[in-house]
Amino acid sequence: MKKHLLVLAIVALTTGGAFAQANDTLAKVKASGSITMGVRDSSGALSYTLGEGKYAGFHVELCQRIVANVEKAVGKKLEVKYQSVTSQNRLPLTQNGTVDIECGSTTNNATRQKDVAFAVTTFVEEVRIVVKANSGITSIVQLNGKNVATTTGTTSVQTLRKNERANGIDFKEVYGKDHADSFLLLESGRAEAFVMDGSILAGNIANAKNPADFKIVGEVLSVEPIAIMLRKDDPTFKKVADDTLKDLMKSGEMAKLYDKWFVQPIPPKNVKVGLAVSESTKAAWAMPNDKPMEDYAKK
């Protein structure tokens, strides 16, 4: 019996250590010699693919800056791996350790904070509607009886339904597996509108075959803090991420990086997204915080 109890104790200690390491990202990446960044294929200028396993964007570059400081913290050069994630799988892949830091377009809200952590807000998003320029649609009320596209695993359609001007509006939801797929639903005529973060809409329009065929219309549906996502209960790793971002905000480098990705021409087509920095984003940089979307709604 004693031997059996000893074995159980060893197993418990070993398992406990494994769980502890799962929430100690610095120890995990130091031991493995690599760090995995969760990236998006079509999240506008925040995170997008260049093809052949290469990724770029505002949040991708911010994560690269964080990784540079992680390397200093662990005292070694790390292999950076890129893992494409979707709106549907980004949370579980962060939770289970497949992804160490998620560098996409994730809204920080109270529900998600129960399962994951967020670095300080780096971008404050406005959810909008994009339609074909010749559609005649200019408002939520004109979506009655229409097919409205959004991306699986996002909050945008729920946001649209909750908008006070959507009362009595009956539309059919059609889902894309990622943002590019959702935009294709609009482009191909299978949807009359696509509801999503304004930056993602602007990025997809900029990369469309004929950008002039589309326009962002209607009311701002919600204001949402977008942040880099981390595993929960890992204060040491979160501090490295937060300190990196706060330094960039304080030095003015954050504003320069924003300009690089949202105002200047970006690869691979050297087109401009043309999205000026919002006052809400400037305010988030001036007073860094990781408050959820619900706090913005109280204003």
Give the mean model confidence (pLDDT) for residues 183-202. Answer: 95
Burial label for 208, CB within 10 Å (0-12, 13-18, 19+), is middle
- Calculate the average pLDDT of the chain: 90
Assess if residue 14 is contained within a domain. Answer: no
Instruction: Give the confidence band of 7 by pLDDT, cuts at 50, 70, 90.
Output: very low
Give the mean model confidence (pLDDT) for residues 281-296. Answer: 95
Please indicate, yes or no, whether residues 179 and 111 belong to a single structural domain of this protein: no
Assess if residue 170 is contained within a domain. Answer: yes
Please indicate, yes or no, whether residues 119 and 233 belong to a single structural domain of this protein: yes
pLDDT of residue 8: 37
Assess if residue 2 is contained within a domain. Answer: no
Assess if residue 72 is contained within a domain. Answer: yes
Give the mean model confidence (pLDDT) for residues 232-249. Answer: 98
Assess if residue 291 is contained within a domain. Answer: yes
| CATH value at residue 89 | 3.40.190.10
Please indicate, yes or no, whether residues 120 and 234 belong to a single structural domain of this protein: yes
Alpha-carbon span 290 to 121, nearest angstrom: 6
Please indicate, yes or no, whether residues 136 and 273 belong to a single structural domain of this protein: no
Point out the domain boundary residue: 160, 189, 224.
224
Q: What is the identity of the amino acid at 261? A: W
Assess if residue 274 is contained within a domain. Answer: yes
Instruction: Give the confidence band of 161 by pLDDT, cuts at 50, 70, 90.
Output: confident
Alpha-carbon span 281 to 258, nearest angstrom: 10
Percent of the chain with pLDDT over 70: 92
Please indicate, yes or no, whether residues 170 and 42 belong to a single structural domain of this protein: no
Helix pair angle (58-74, 25-32), 10° resolution: 80
Assess if residue 7 is contained within a domain. Answer: no
Span of 12-26, 140-154, 176-190, 202-216 with lowest mean pLDDT: 12-26
Q: Domain range spanning residue 269?
A: 24-124+225-297
Assess if residue 280 is contained within a domain. Answer: yes
Burial label for 269, CB within 10 Å (0-12, 13-18, 19+), is exposed
By C-alpha distance, which of 34, 85, 28, 93 is closest to 60? 85
Please indicate, yes or no, whether residues 175 and 47 belong to a single structural domain of this protein: no
Q: Which two tokens stand for residue 94?
A: 């962060």
Estimate to the nearest angstrom the gap between the alpha carbon of 224 and the chain centroid.
11
| Tens digits of residue pLDDT in 92-145 | 999 999 999 999 999 999 999 999 999 999 999 988 999 999 999 999 889 999
pLDDT of residue 298: 65
**CB-CB contact of 244 with 69 (8 Å):** yes
Point out the domain boundary residue: 191, 224, 257.
224
C-beta atoms surrounding 282 within 10 Å: 14
Please indicate, yes or no, whether residues 47 and 186 belong to a single structural domain of this protein: no
Please indicate, yes or no, whether residues 92 and 130 belong to a single structural domain of this protein: no
Please indicate, yes or no, whether residues 120 and 230 belong to a single structural domain of this protein: yes
